[in-house]
Amino acid sequence: MFDHSGKVALVTGASRGIGEAAVRSLTKSGASVVLAARSTTDIERIAQEICDEGGHAEAISCDVSKYDDVEAAVSLALSRLGRLDILVNNAGVIEPVSRLETSKPSDWDKVIDINVKGVYHGLRAAVEPMLKQKSGTIINISSGAATGALEGWSHYCASKAAVLSLTRCADKEWREKGIRVMGLSPGTVATEMQVQIKASGINPVSQLDPSVHIPAGWVGEAISWLATEAGDAYLGTDCSLRDEGVRKAVGLI
C-alpha cells in the first residue's frame, strides 16, 4: 500500500483500462480523485462506486484535445477538493493503425491532438496550482513506441516520442520549483487498445498472444508507486514496467 492520504489526483482517460486502474489504486491509497473522460457514463459510475466505499471522487466530461476542457477539470479539483497534487496524463489513442502511404491526414491530426496536445494541455493547466503549492507530481503515460519505430504506428510512435520530450522539458523547467514530472512506459497491457492492435494485423505486436499482456491493475499500482518518493529516480524520463526490478519495487512480483 502507498499512502496518498490528503492528496488530490486528476486522471484523464479515466473511464476504463489504465485510467480506471490508476483511479482505483490512488483512491485505495487515500487520495481524492477527479475522473476525466469524454463520455461521463462510465466515470460517473466509477466515481459513485468509490464514494459508496467511503472515498471521494468527482467526474467531469473532458476532451483533452481542448484546453478549456482540461482547464475545467483542474478547476473542478481545486473548487471541490481544494488542491491538485497528482496529474496522470493517460488519455491516448492508437486507432486507426495504418501504414504511412494509406494514412489519412485527418486521422493523424486527431491522434496528435489527443496524444500530444492533450499532454501539453494537462501540463499547462496543472502547473499553475502546483507552482503555488510548490509541489506536485505529473505522470505522463508513455510507451516503448517513444523510442522504437513500428510499422503502421507512425502516428503513435511520433506522439509518444513527443510526450517523452515534453516530460524532459517540463522536468528541466519545474524540478527546482518542487514539481516532479516523469513518464511511465507500461509495456503491453490487457486493454481495449490491444484489441484494436490485434485486429489491425500490422507489425509483431498484433501477433502477440493476449496472455502476455499485463493487467491494467499493475499499471495502476505503478502509478501510485511513482507518485511517492520512489518516483524521484525517474524524474525527467520514462520508468519501464517491463523492468523486473521496477515490478518488484512496486510489489507486483
Distance (Å, whole) CA 16 – CA 23:
10
| Residue 207, pLDDT score | 92
Is residue 234 situated within a structural domain?
Answer: yes
* pLDDT over threshold 90, residue 1: no
Asked if 187 and 240 count as a contact pair (C-beta separation under 8 A), the reply is yes
Radius of gyration of the chain (CA): 17
**Average pLDDT in the 119-148 region?**
97
* pLDDT over threshold 80, residue 41: yes
**Model pLDDT for residues 51-94, shown as the tens digit of each residue:** 999 999 999 999 999 999 999 999 999 999 999 999 999 999 99
> CA 185, 190, 191, 197 torsion: positive or negative?
positive
| Residue 3, pLDDT score | 96
Is residue 225 situated within a structural domain?
Answer: yes
**Average pLDDT in the 159-188 region?**
98
Mean pLDDT, the chain, integer: 96
**Model pLDDT for residues 84-124, shown as the tens digit of each residue:** 999 999 999 999 999 999 999 999 999 999 999 999 999 99
Residue 157: which residues within 8 A CB-CB, separation 6 or more?
145, 146, 148, 149, 150
* pLDDT over threshold 90, residue 5: yes
* pLDDT over threshold 80, residue 130: yes
Asked if 156 and 163 count as a contact pair (C-beta separation under 8 A), the reply is no
Is residue 3 situated within a structural domain?
Answer: no
* pLDDT-based confidence at residue 253 (cuts at 50, 70, 90): confident
Question: Which residue range is the domain that position 144 belongs to?
Answer: 8-246
Is residue 1 situated within a structural domain?
Answer: no
Is residue 252 situated within a structural domain?
Answer: no
* pLDDT over threshold 80, residue 30: yes
- Residue 75's SS3 state is helix
The secondary structure of 120-161, three-state, reads HHHHHHHHHHHHHHCCEEEEEECCHHHCCCCCCCHHHHHHHH
Number of residues that this document lists for the chain: 253
Is residue 51 situated within a structural domain?
Answer: yes
Asked if 182 and 198 count as a contact pair (C-beta separation under 8 A), the reply is no
* pLDDT-based confidence at residue 181 (cuts at 50, 70, 90): very high
- Residue 77's SS3 state is helix
Active site residues: 156
CATH of residue 82: 3.40.50.720
If we measure between CA atoms, which residue out of 84, 90, 81, 73 comes closest to residue 50? 81
In the chain, the number of structural domains is: 1
* pLDDT-based confidence at residue 175 (cuts at 50, 70, 90): very high
* pLDDT-based confidence at residue 197 (cuts at 50, 70, 90): very high
**Model pLDDT for residues 202-233, shown as the tens digit of each residue:** 999 999 998 899 999 999 999 999 999 999 99
Q: Which residue has the cell 488542491?
A: 83
Is residue 253 situated within a structural domain?
Answer: no
If we measure between CA atoms, which residue out of 229, 146, 192 comes closest to residue 19? 192
